[in-house]
């Protein structure tokens, strides 16, 4: 049985399409700028990503915790544009609050028990390997953040495959950032891969959440 589309959702469809298209355009500009080494393009496009995705989510009737998670992600995005150590810690803190919002969103929905072991192993292995190479003052904050991020990634599967994939990509994106903090060798164009996996993660979490809560009618715009 299909989920009925509310009249307000029908009226919002053109706005939703425009916002989603704007998010896609800003994402493309950001990724191309990173590949081309055009820092001004990245500086302009990155702060637009999460507000556009949050506005799209609002136009689809998203619950408050989802919108809050995206806006705290925006706070982290803006803060991480700076290379200063305090900005990194504040940005990580903003993302951490966003993960708490996602955990509130997931509520008591059940996650497959089979996901717990691999995510726990990934957390323990990553922290153990990074620990010696992290700056001493960042070890505890990074480990605490990694625990919260892994919990969010694991629990995201409670909203279905799309959200679960989004959680996994978020974990991958932030792991790439952590390897840079630890001064590990990183792949070519690492900033491109970080932003590609991050924007895909936030989009999949948003789409997966809307689909799980409201059905196809709120995501097929």
Tens of pLDDT, residues 145-190 = 999 999 999 999 999 999 999 999 999 999 999 999 999 998 899 9
pLDDT at position 10 over 60: no
Tens of pLDDT, residues 29-61 = 999 999 999 999 999 999 999 999 999 999 999
In this prediction, residue 7 carries a pLDDT of 46
In this prediction, residue 209 carries a pLDDT of 95
What string of H, E and C letters represents the secondary structure of the chain?
CCCCCCHHHHHHHHHHHHHHHHHHHHHHHHHHHHHHCCHHHHHHHHHHHHHHHHHHHHHCCCCHHHHHHHHHHHHHHHHCCCCCHHHHHHHHHHHHHHHHHHHHHHCCCCCCHHHHHHHHHHHHHHHHHHHHHCCHHHHHHHHHHHHHHHHHHHHHHHHCHHHHHHHHHHHHHHHHHHHHHCCCCCCCCHHHHHHHHHHHHHHHHHHHHHHHHHCHHHCCC
């Amino acid at each position: 049985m299909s989920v009925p589309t509310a009249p307000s959702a029908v009226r919002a469809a053109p706005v939703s399409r425009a916002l989603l298209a704007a998010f896609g355009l800003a994402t493309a500009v950001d990724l191309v700028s990173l590949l081309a080494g055009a820092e001004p393009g990245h500086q302009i496009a990155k702060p637009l990503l999460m507000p556009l995705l949050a506005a799209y989510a609002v136009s689809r009737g998203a619950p408050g915790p989802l919108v809050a998670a995206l806006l705290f992600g925006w706070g982290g995005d803006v803060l991480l544009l700076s290379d200063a150590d305090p900005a990194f810690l504040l940005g990580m803190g903003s993302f951490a609050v966003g993960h708490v919002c996602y955990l509130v969103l997931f509520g008591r929905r059940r996650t497959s028990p089979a996901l717990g072991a691999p995510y726990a192993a990934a957390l323990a292995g990553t922290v153990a390997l990074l620990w010696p190479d992290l700056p001493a003052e960042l070890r505890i904050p990074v480990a605490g953040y990694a625990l919260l991020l892994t919990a969010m990634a694991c629990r995201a599967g409670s909203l279905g495959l799309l959200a679960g994939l989004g959680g996994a990509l978020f974990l991958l994106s932030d792991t790439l950032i952590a390897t840079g903090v630890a001064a590990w060798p990183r792949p070519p164009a690492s900033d491109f891969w970080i932003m590609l996996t991050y924007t895909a993660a936030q989009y999949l979490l948003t789409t997966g959440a809307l689909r799980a809560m409201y059905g196809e009618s709120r995501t097929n715009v």
